[in-house]
Amino acid sequence: MTTFVAETYQNEFLAVGATRIDALVSVSATGTGNIAGGRESAELVIVDVSGSMNFPRTKIRSAIAATCEAIDCIRDDVLFGVIAGDDAARLVYPGGDKLVPASPTTRQAAKDAVRKLKANGGTAIGQWLSLARYMVADRSECISHAILLTDGENQNESPEELAEALASCEGSFQCDCRGVGADWVVSELRTIASTLLGTVEAIRAPEDLAADFTATMARAMARGTGNVALRVWTPMGARVDLVQQVSPTLEDLTARRVEVTDLEGDYPTGAWSDESRDYHVSFEVPAREIGDEMLAGRIKLVVDDAVVSEARVRAVWTDDEAKSTRVNHELAHYTGQAELARAIDDAYVARRSGDLETATRQFGEAVRLAHEAGDTYKLQGLAAVVDIEDPATGTVRLKQRVDALDDLALEAGSVKTNRLPPTG
């Protein structure tokens, strides 16, 4: 039996005249697996076979091997297919235009077809995504997922063409994006993954692809509950200001609101396995008198339009400064994580534009925040791109030479957060 539990962590006290109330909503899901009697699933592997995958040759060989291993992870009866992408897109397996159920026979046939792939041509990711959308277009109730691998920039179609294709795919399937080597663009894959509720990973070496593909496919196979949304209710006069996933990665869902009623809206979260995710929700409410309190909002977990759990956010006005300024431990942790991610992203934007002064300042701020949070993973990544003189103050110098793979790993990983176990 699938169970969702939502809990709220907040400081409900507001100072006189204050109108913003923030809360952390922690959601845990259990019993979501679809191994027996569950919802229909579909899996696609989208493999870059552009000419650059030949340099070095280990890239295309490793991509083929990783795809074959991912195919082996697909559970019996899950619909699947493999798409090869260059400056066009083609279905490598199966033949025709319909996905087929996985079985020992079809998995072997798919691997045989994949092993014949050759790398040649350009890169048009929008066409790859459009073909994936077409393959699942007639299965709106299916939990559809894709792994997309590329080693380069989208050069054979305009940004507008990619954006149009991506917009048409939103809601059709989820997509985890993987960049291998040092020539792909983080912002490009992040936009795709963000729109399609997936993840981005930098794969440093081609030989690392197989382990990542199998782990990613295993996670996809564990997602047995689809069409899950946060349904946020506000009373008359109040409004939702922010809905942001803050763990395991940062993802702003605010603009994705789908109106349900005049007072409620849904924010899509994709398919779930047995896992926990945390969300920062912020409300604007009318100011009230000292001692007044109100229900600022309800956050409901909705699966296929059925409410399965609910958390509430309260607002209480006080003239007790100690109460209104009390810091909520859980919310403060993720606020710091979001600030750290913004500092890293802003540093890269500044550095690419040639504004080295701003880049240095933002990298320094990222170092200070990572040091303050005890985030050794981010500190290690930052130390690869700047010389850290004093982590406590964020005093750094830009390195003259930076390994491109270190750059990609830090930028791609900026949105990953450390989960803080809620303490109440």
Measured distance CA(145)–CA(267) in Å, rounded: 19
- List the chain residues with pLDDT less than 50: 34-37, 424
- Please, what are the domains in the chain? 3-33+225-326 (2.60.40.3670), 41-222 (3.40.50.410), 330-415 (1.20.120.1690)
Phi/psi of residue 145, each to 5°? -145, 150
| Confidence (pTM) | 0.95
Q: Are 217 and 74 a contacting pair, CB within 8 Å? A: yes
Place of tokens 């025709």: 96
Q: What pLDDT score was predicted for residue 423?
A: 52
Q: What pLDDT score was predicted for residue 421?
A: 59
Q: Are 12 and 316 a contacting pair, CB within 8 Å? A: yes
Q: Are 13 and 82 a contacting pair, CB within 8 Å? A: no
214 closest CA partner among 62, 59, 423, 374: 62
Q: What pLDDT score was predicted for residue 230?
A: 98
Q: Are 106 and 143 a contacting pair, CB within 8 Å? A: no
